[in-house]
Amino acid sequence: MAKFPSEIFGYYWKDDSKEAKAARKRRWCPFHNSKCFKKSRLVNYPFGVCTAHYAREEIALCPRRFLERNLVFRDIAQHNFGSCNNILVFSEVGLSGIGNFDFVMVKHKPMSAELEDFAVIEFQTGQTTSTGRLVDAFKDFMKKGMMPKGANYSFGINMYDIWKRTFTQILNKGIILEKWRKKIFWVVQEPVFRYFQRKYRINMLDYDNTHSTVFALYDLKTSGKRLKLVSTERLSSTIDDLFDAFRTNDDIPPVEDFMARLKTKISTDMKLALRLDASAGYQSVDARRPTSTGRVREKSDEQDAKDQRELFD
């Protein structure tokens, strides 16, 4: 399946309009109306890939992609408050002991600073593995002004890592909003969310206005020579139901399979193992090497890409 950047500096790769060319020349983000803020150590100017074509889908890779025409904020305001009047949206609002909320939408009384209500909004976009290959594709496009014929670059979409980290955030933040009896809207692109459903067997979601945790699903649809952000569905859940799905996930492999793997290692890799009996003398076993941020990779890019292919194919 073809894989390549499909939106560069806010415009579809097929778009050769004056506006598209100007944005690429200025390294401009039209969704925020400012210079692109994405970076890569492999290019000395902004890494302006907003969206990638992967597994026959257009996957948004930058949270600014959800800022198109303020559609998401207007949708949530209408849904949650019934109007866009007297609504303010603040970004990066901190909560002690928890971290930041991406956005907090506040409803205030007319002509007053008095607070009436609020809702929390979190954006979750895709992220890549083997990102250097995507950078190669980006540089090819910027050099030639077009995507090479038959373009297919070997990057992946890291769904596993997205949801491994995000699910704990959904639970942690969701518990708080549920206790406060306020709503938290998780804005997610539909194909990214469908992976979450498949991975954790969360298939019975519907929408219930009494739930605090809401998944606001959007997708990117081709419209002429552009991609258009469209609302597709709204689903919700209680934290108890989500925690049950996390805890009882039947995607867990049987312990017998792991024990068989250990038996093989005893037979083939014994010399590489740390022996603890006194007769072995002093030995050591090394820890995993962290990145510069201290993060320890749990899966290789190659293994994660393989997992993604198996789930999408």
Give tens-digit pLDDT for 256-267.
Answer: 888 888 888 888
Q: What is the mean pLDDT of the chain?
A: 88
| 38-42, 279-283, 306-310: least confidently modelled range | 306-310
**In a 3-state reduction of DSSP, which class is residue 168?**
helix
**In a 3-state reduction of DSSP, which class is residue 271?**
helix
Residue 300 has pLDDT above 70, yes or no: no
- Average confidence (pLDDT) over 223-249: 90
Task: Give the pLDDT of residue 125.
Answer: 95
Residue 312 has pLDDT above 60, yes or no: no
Query: Residues 96, 176: contact at Cβ < 8 Å?
Result: no
Residue 84: exposure state from Cβ atoms within 10 A (0-12, 13-18, ≥19): middle
* Matching residue, tokens 């009436």: 116
Cβ count near 236 (within 10 Å): 20
| 70-84, 120-134, 136-150, 210-224: least confidently modelled range | 136-150
Question: Which two three-digit tokens encode residue 44?
Answer: 């000395």
For residue 275, give the H/E element and its range. none
Global pTM reads 0.84
Task: For residue 281, name the pLDDT band (cuts at 50, 70, 90).
Answer: low
| 92-101, 211-220, 242-251: least confidently modelled range | 242-251
Please provide the DSSP assignment of 86-142 as one string.
Answer: TEEEEEEEEETTTEEEEEEEEEE-TTS--EEEEEEEEEE---EESHHHHHHHHHHHH
Residue 219 has pLDDT above 60, yes or no: yes
Task: For residue 297, name the pLDDT band (cuts at 50, 70, 90).
Answer: low
Name which residue leads in pLDDT, 272 or 178: 178
Query: Residues 168, 246: contact at Cβ < 8 Å?
Result: no
Q: Which percentage of the chain shows pLDDT scores above 70?
A: 88
**φ/ψ (deg, to 5) at 38:** -75, 145
* Matching residue, tokens 């997992």: 307
pLDDT for 141-177, tens place per residue? 999 888 888 889 999 999 988 988 899 999 999 999 9
Cβ count near 127 (within 10 Å): 17
Query: Residues 130, 158: contact at Cβ < 8 Å?
Result: no
Cβ count near 169 (within 10 Å): 14
Question: Which two three-digit tokens encode residue 266?
Answer: 């005893």
Residue 32 has pLDDT above 50, yes or no: yes
**φ/ψ (deg, to 5) at 201:** 55, 45
